[in-house]
Amino acid sequence: MVTIIERFRKPVSWVFGIMSAFLIVFSLSNHATSMYFELAELVGLVLIIIATLGRIWSSLHIVGSKNSVLCDIGPYSMCRNPLYVFSFLGMIGIILVSGILILLPPSIILFTVYYGFVVRKEEERLLSLFGLNFQNYCSKTPRLLFRMSNYRPGGAVTVNLELIQKRIIDAMWFLWLYFMLEILEIFKNTHVVPILLHTPF
């Protein structure tokens, strides 16, 4: 049975994302000429790309079978929660691209605390579903770190194309955020955003 914490995982993520976007929009400092900002933006973009591809890769392995089959192949052969790991990297990437590094500490703390609860509840549910098989899986597969030596490629699977399309679109939202931030940066540099924000209504 899915717990309340798991059920509201996506809404909580969206609320936090909207709050962060609000802070980014109203931060008018221009870092475009800073070498450190350029480096942070480059690192952030790399993390976003890794997060997007990793989330798609992970989603394809569990689409339509998350609670019916214990997935221990592909990314799940190296880490028990690759989706959350890639999401964490994507969050860090978005903050680096935004240039508002003050968001890093609270974001890391909130993500770690909240998703720590989510992971524990999910593991309790998986233990009740798969019993000894899940215990054996946990004994050899790290919860959040990737153990590359464990990698086992997956075989042929039957998939629902409509569901896969939804998962791929969902997995790419860090990339959409990146493009939105780039558009916002263009507006900042052309002084459109400052004018809008300081125009009385």
For residue range 43-57, list pLDDT tens digits in order. 999 999 999 999 999
| Number of folded domains that form the chain | 1
State residue 45's pLDDT score: 92
- Measuring CA to CA, how many Å separate 109 from each of 100, 103, 116? 16, 10, 10
Q: CB of 78 within 8 A of CB of 87? A: no
* Residue 90, burial from CB neighbour count under 10 angstroms (0-12, 13-18, 19+): buried
State residue 100's pLDDT score: 81
In a domain, residue 92? The reply is yes
In a domain, residue 69? The reply is yes
In a domain, residue 167? The reply is no
In 3D, which of 6, 119, 101 has the Cα closest to residue 44?
A: 101
For residue range 28-40, list pLDDT tens digits in order. 455 555 777 888 8
In a domain, residue 55? The reply is yes
* Structure token digits, residue 20: 């962060």
In a domain, residue 199? The reply is no
Q: What range does the domain containing 105 cover?
A: 34-162
State residue 174's pLDDT score: 83
In a domain, residue 189? The reply is no
State residue 89's pLDDT score: 95
* Structure token digits, residue 71: 């997935």
In a domain, residue 110? The reply is yes
Residue spans of the chain under pLDDT 50: 28, 201
State residue 28's pLDDT score: 45
**How remote is the C-alpha of 175 from its chain's centroid?**
10
